[in-house]
Amino acid sequence: MTGKRNPALDSLRACAVLGVIAFHHQWGLPGGFLGVDLFFVLSGFVITRLLLREHATTGRVRLGRFWLRRAKRLLPALLAVLIGVHLWLADDEFPALRTTTDGQTLAALADVANWYALHGHVDYWSVGRDAAPLAHLWSLSVEEQFYLLWPPVLVLLLLIANTRWPTALRGPWAATAFCVAGACVSYVLAVVLFDPAAPDRSYLGTDTRSGALLLGAAVALAPHRLPRRAAPALGAAAALGLAAIWGVARLGQAALPHWQLPLAGCAAALLIAALDRPTALHRALDRGPLRALPALGRVSYSLYLWHWPVWVFLTLESPEILGGSGILGSPGLTLAVRGALAFALSLALACVMYKAVEKPLRYTVLRPLVLLSWLAVASLSLVAYTLVTAPATVQRESGGPLVSGPG
């Protein structure tokens, strides 16, 4: 594809976020959490493609500008969600949630939410997910760590490509092989570090989850595209493979790191490679009734950010959990109603955030120092609020373990 936005990739973003929502909202898709891996492969591909395009155009990669663009893209919407969650918890109706939310907030702002989940014992297995409204931000931290580490490595690979080293060490296939080898190491680490009694280390670690990101980078670096005639069939096979894995995968099972994660990553990479050129599908996504998928993909980031806090909010405010009249004056929210309402509210919030926050700040004419100053002030203000208003004592989740806040 050219520099124009690829509607097929936006459609994949939509499928990825719908898979995660289906898993979290209990819509009967047990492996929907693998939508995160599809996001990872997409991110590795898109980021690497953007950096390569800049290098081809200007002869260099300006890392400072790249990181500024990432901050403009990710931080405003993240801050909006963090502030929204803290406004909900400001009345101290759920003090136990503050102990997890405070720590997750600070970890998310520091881009280490996945490692805080591991060492703070607020991961998917140690704490009930309804007690951690920001638990889903672990995946965002993995991506942000990749954005910090991968561009300098890519710059080094590009420098090597301009040296007089042997072609086998500096050609385009060498960079591609480097990414594939790195992905293999990551997937092997996920197997080696997998412990059935504590699967969180294998599932949440940056080292064990970078395989999908590196596969996406490998697709972007590959010197040749898939043959035009073979691309549709290969793309269809990859899509069917992804659907099959999403239907059988289960969190915490040994099959996940042993073959499901690598296969899901490879299938996603093959699907992206197949869609990386104009086809009849692209025209249908641009003009036909399928236009809803690319539109959903464009708001997928905010939708991902909001869907879990909204679900936790509806779960805890429902009289099924707390008793009483419930929100909206309803006598109770069934699982199906709660899922439908959570999706509708999350989508509405995502659309508002995209129009009012994401898009304006992403393309703002503000000078970088001015924008960074605003974002820094907002972030530091949230950090100060979190530290000053933190509960004085450790709280115990009902039926769960002790969890601690940022202190």
pLDDT at 225: 84
- Model confidence over 329-345: pLDDT tens digits? 444 567 888 889 999 99
Q: Determine, yes or no, domain membership for 347.
A: no
CA atoms within 13 A on the CB side of 354: 18
Does pLDDT of 245 surpass 90? yes
287: number of Cβ within 10 Å: 10
Q: Determine, yes or no, domain membership for 179.
A: yes
- Model confidence over 135-159: pLDDT tens digits? 999 999 999 999 999 999 999 988 8
pLDDT at 401: 33
Contact criterion met (CB below 8 Å) for 201 and 30: no
Q: Can you tell me the distance from the alpha carbon of 116 to that of 365, in angstroms, rounded to the nearest whole number?
A: 35
Q: Is 195 helix (H, G, I), strand (E, B) or coil?
A: coil
Does pLDDT of 402 surpass 80? no
Counting the structural domains of the chain, the total is 1
Does pLDDT of 355 surpass 90? yes
Q: What is the average pLDDT value for the chain, to the nearest integer?
A: 85
pLDDT at 392: 66
- Model confidence over 200-217: pLDDT tens digits? 999 999 999 999 999 999
C-alpha separations of 120 from 79, 135, 406 in Å = 21, 12, 9
Q: Determine, yes or no, domain membership for 304.
A: no
pLDDT at 361: 85
pLDDT at 398: 40
Q: Determine, yes or no, domain membership for 86.
A: no
pLDDT at 26: 87
Q: Is the pLDDT higher at 158 or at 172?
A: 158
C-alpha separations of 207 from 119, 146, 192 in Å = 15, 10, 12
**Across 117-142, average pLDDT:** 79
pLDDT at 319: 52
Does pLDDT of 360 surpass 70? yes
Q: Determine, yes or no, domain membership for 318.
A: no
pLDDT interval class at 163 (50, 70, 90): low
Q: Determine, yes or no, domain membership for 14.
A: yes
Q: Can you tell me the distance from the alpha carbon of 255 to that of 312, in angstroms, rounded to the nearest whole number?
A: 29
**Across 231-245, average pLDDT:** 92
For residue 403, the cross-strand partners are 395
Does pLDDT of 285 surpass 80? no
Q: Can you tell me the distance from the alpha carbon of 381 to that of 317, in angstroms, rounded to the nearest whole number?
A: 28
pLDDT at 306: 97
Q: Determine, yes or no, domain membership for 367.
A: no
Does pLDDT of 129 surpass 70? no
pLDDT at 389: 86
From the DSSP assignment, how many helices (H) and strands (E) are in the chain? 20, 2
Q: Determine, yes or no, domain membership for 215.
A: yes
Q: Which of 18-22, 201-205, 215-219, 276-280 has the lowest mean pLDDT?
A: 276-280
pLDDT interval class at 397 (50, 70, 90): very low
pLDDT at 4: 65
Q: Buried b vs exposed e over 338-368: b needs ≥16 C-beta within 10 Å?
A: bbebbbebbbebbbebbeebbeebeeeeeee
C-alpha separations of 236 from 215, 246, 272, 274, 402 in Å = 19, 15, 11, 9, 47
Does pLDDT of 9 surpass 70? yes
What's the domain range around 167?
7-74+94-299
pTM of the model: 0.90
- Model confidence over 73-99: pLDDT tens digits? 999 999 999 999 999 998 888 877 888
Q: Can you tell me the distance from the alpha carbon of 265 to that of 28, in angstroms, rounded to the nearest whole number?
A: 22
